[in-house]
């Protein structure tokens, strides 16, 4: 429980990052859009909106290519379990820079459609740049908790780490369920317990040799491990009206160097994730000392140009009715 409270403060956020300009509501497919007059958000998401539309949102956007490689094992597992097919209409919640939206659009083409939803303006700008022309995918800058999706118009809701940050998750999932057709379903990836994810936790413990620990967070506060509990996920989805809820544990290996060697692994651990959050605001000498501790920690795990560490996710599935 202590680990969960410590790390929940870190914002592995790929969903709650919000609105900058009036956006659009999908009405039936690519090119069939209308402007939203007043973009809205859940009133408890203001801090995340500011975070993901400021310097931190840009920092994640700048690491888009590296993060897509790092999280590729998760994307493959999600895409496999979701089993999207040609013609499907799909919502991708917390789509970030668009990697999963693009992958699902390739599955849904030529007559299906993917709507990527995120609150980060910088990340969505990158997603629009990366999406191939002609692919049936559009992106909207919005809070999925309150966004007015067309009722009963989608076959599938998917997410790669975009749903653990809902301030009111049962309300958020209920809104998404209303967008699903009677045969619709949801498939998403979320992190299991911190102890199952040393690829995140081990560098953080090395950093803690030099800086105070992050403030504790409640076990149900939004954060990367907020959906680690099977009981909580079942309760949330049940309250939102979903049926046939299943949770599959999937063990994975994450090369935190993304094939670029030890120094890249050290820099990656310090730039994104809980270690980065713990080091925010500390002077260069502290950061250098922390980097050396992380380097010492990771050295035994080096395998050629890779630095693989273990991790684990849930793949959650459910029916809308």
> 61: part of which helix (H) or strand (E)?
helix 55-62
Instruction: Specify the long-range contacts of residues 297-304, CB closer than 8 Å, at least 24 apart.
Output: 297/202, 297/203, 297/205, 297/206, 298/202, 298/203, 298/256, 298/262, 298/265, 298/266, 298/269, 299/262, 302/261, 302/262, 302/265
Residues 6+ apart with CB under 8 A from 303: none
Per-residue pLDDT of the chain (321 residues), as tens digits, is: 333 333 333 333 333 333 333 333 333 333 333 333 334 677 776 777 777 787 777 888 999 999 999 999 999 999 999 999 999 999 999 999 999 999 999 999 999 999 999 989 999 999 999 999 999 999 999 999 999 999 999 999 999 999 998 889 999 999 999 999 999 999 999 999 999 999 999 999 999 999 999 988 787 888 899 999 999 999 999 999 999 999 999 999 999 999 999 999 999 999 888 999 899 999 999 999 999 999 999 999 999 999 999 999 999 999 999
pLDDT of 22: 33
Helices (H) and strands (E) in the chain, counts: 13, 9
Q: Do the domain assignments include residue 209?
A: no
Q: Do the domain assignments include residue 304?
A: no
Secondary structure of residue 157 in the 3-state scheme: strand
pLDDT of 45: 66
Length reported for the chain? 321
DSSP 36: -
Secondary structure of residue 238 in the 3-state scheme: helix
> Which domain range does residue 159 map to?
2-194+222-253+312-319
The total number of structural domains in the chain stands at 1
For residues 278 and 274, give the distance between their C-alpha atoms in angstroms, rounded to a whole number: 6
pLDDT of 219: 76
User: Which CATH number belongs to the domain containing residue 78 in this structure?
Assistant: 3.40.50.150
pLDDT of 5: 32
Q: Do the domain assignments include residue 126?
A: yes
Q: Do the domain assignments include residue 277?
A: no
Q: Do the domain assignments include residue 286?
A: no
8 A C-beta contact, residue 40 and residue 143: yes
Q: How do strand 180-191 and strand 33-35 relate by DSSP bridges?
A: unpaired
8 A C-beta contact, residue 137 and residue 102: yes
Q: Do the domain assignments include residue 45?
A: yes
Q: Do the domain assignments include residue 291?
A: no
Q: Do the domain assignments include residue 297?
A: no
């Amino acid at each position: 429980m202590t680990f969960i409270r410590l790390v929940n403060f870190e914002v592995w956020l790929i969903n709650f990052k919000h609105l900058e300009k009036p956006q659009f509501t999908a009405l039936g497919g690519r090119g069939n859009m209308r402007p939203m007059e007043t973009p809205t958000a859940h009133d408890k998401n203001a801090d995340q909106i500011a975070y993901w539309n400021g310097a931190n949102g840009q920092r994640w956007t700048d690491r888009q290519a590296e993060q897509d490689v790092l999280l590729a094992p998760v994307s493959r597992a999600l895409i496999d379990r979701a089993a999207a097919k040609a013609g499907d209409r799909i919502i991708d919640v917390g789509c970030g820079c668009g990697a999963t939206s693009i992958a699902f659009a390739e599955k849904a083409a030529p007559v299906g459609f993917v709507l990527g939803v995120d609150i980060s303006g910088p990340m969505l700008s990158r997603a629009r740049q990366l999406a191939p022309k002609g692919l049936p995918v559009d992106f909207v800058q919005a809070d999925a908790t309150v966004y007015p999706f067309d009722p009963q118009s989608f076959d599938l809701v998917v997410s790669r780490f975009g749903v653990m940050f809902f301030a009111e998750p049962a309300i958020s999932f209920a809104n998404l369920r209303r967008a699903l057709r009677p045969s619709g379903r949801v498939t998403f990836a979320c992190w299991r317990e911190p102890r199952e994810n040393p690829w995140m936790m081990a560098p953080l413990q090395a950093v803690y040799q030099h800086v105070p620990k992050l403030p504790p967070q409640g076990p149900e506060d939004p954060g990367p491990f907020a959906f680690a509990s099977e009981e909580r996920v079942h309760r949330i989805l049940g309250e939102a009206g979903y049926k046939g809820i299943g949770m599959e544990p999937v063990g994975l290996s994450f090369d935190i160097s993304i094939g670029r060697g030890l120094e890249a692994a050290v820099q990656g651990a310090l730039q994104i994730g809980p270690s980065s959050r713990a080091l925010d605001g500390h002077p260069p000498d502290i950061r250098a000392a922390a980097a050396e501790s992380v380097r010492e920690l990771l050295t035994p795990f080096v395998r050629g140009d890779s630095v693989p560490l273990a991790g684990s996710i849930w793949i959650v599935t459910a029916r809308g009715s």
